[in-house]
Amino acid sequence: MKRILILFSDTGGGHRAAAEAIRDALLIRHPNEVSIEMIDVFRAYSPFPFKYMPEMYPWIVNRSKTGWGVGYDFTNTRNKAKLIQQGIYVSLEKSLLKMLREHPADMIVSVHSLLTRTAMQALMQFEKRPPFMVVVTDLVSTHMFWYDKSVDRCLVPTQPAFERGLQSGLSADQMRVTGLPVHPNFAARLTDKASARKELGWDPNLPAVLMVGGGEGMGALYETARAVNDLRLKCQLIVIAGRNSVLKHKLESDRWHQPTHVYPFVTNMPVLMAAADILVSKAGPATISEACIAGLPVILYDAIPGQETGNVQYVVENNAGIYAPSPTEASEAVAKWLGEGPEGLKRHSESARRLGRPNAVWEIADEVWEQAQKPLIPTNRRNIFIDFSRRVPMKSRRF
pLDDT the model gives residue 382: 58
pLDDT at 93 over 90: yes
How crowded is residue 212: how many other Cβ atoms within 10 Å of its Cβ? 29
Laid out side by side, the sheet with 2-8 consists of 34-40, 2-8, 107-110, 132-135, 153-156, 175-177
Backbone angles phi, psi at 207, to 5 degrees: -55, 145
Residue 151, helix vs strand vs coil: coil
Average pLDDT over residues 105-133: 95
Of 89-103, 170-184, 217-231, which range is least confident? 217-231
pLDDT at 357 over 70: yes
Percent pLDDT > 90 in the chain is 81
pTM above 0.85, yes or no: yes
Is the bond preceding residue 49 a cis peptide, omega within 30 degrees?
yes
Q: Mark 337-357 as b/e (b = at least 16 C-beta within 10 Å).
A: bbeeeeeebeebbebbbebbb
Higher pLDDT, 386 or 138: 138
Backbone angles phi, psi at 6, to 5 degrees: -110, 120
Q: What does the angle CA 312 – CA 318 – CA 319 come to, to the nearest 5 degrees? A: 90
pLDDT the model gives residue 392: 40
pLDDT the model gives residue 104: 95
Of 59-73, 237-251, 312-326, which range is least confident? 59-73
Structural domains in the chain? 2-182+358-395 (3.40.50.2000), 190-353 (3.40.50.2000)
pLDDT at 390 over 80: no
Compute the distance between CA of residue 355 and CA of residue 376 in angstroms, rounded to an integer: 37
Of 4-13, 153-162, 211-220, 312-321, which range is least confident? 211-220
pLDDT band at 252 (very low <50, low <70, confident <90, very high): very high
Average pLDDT over residues 213-240: 88
pLDDT at 384 over 50: no
Average pLDDT over residues 145-161: 96
pLDDT the model gives residue 68: 81
29-45 pLDDT tens trace: 999 999 999 999 999 99
Burial class of residue 103 (count of CB atoms within 10 Å of its CB; 0-12, 13-18, 19+): middle
Compute the distance between CA of residue 244 and CA of residue 214 in angstroms, rounded to an integer: 10
268-315 pLDDT tens trace: 999 999 999 999 999 989 999 999 999 999 999 988 888 899 999 999
Residues paired with residue 110 on neighbouring β-strands, in sequence order: 7, 134
User: What's the DSSP call for residue 337?
Assistant: H
Higher pLDDT, 29 or 69: 29
Compute the distance between CA of residue 113 and CA of residue 51 in angstroms, rounded to an integer: 16
pLDDT at 100 over 70: yes
Mean pLDDT score of the chain, rounded to an integer? 91
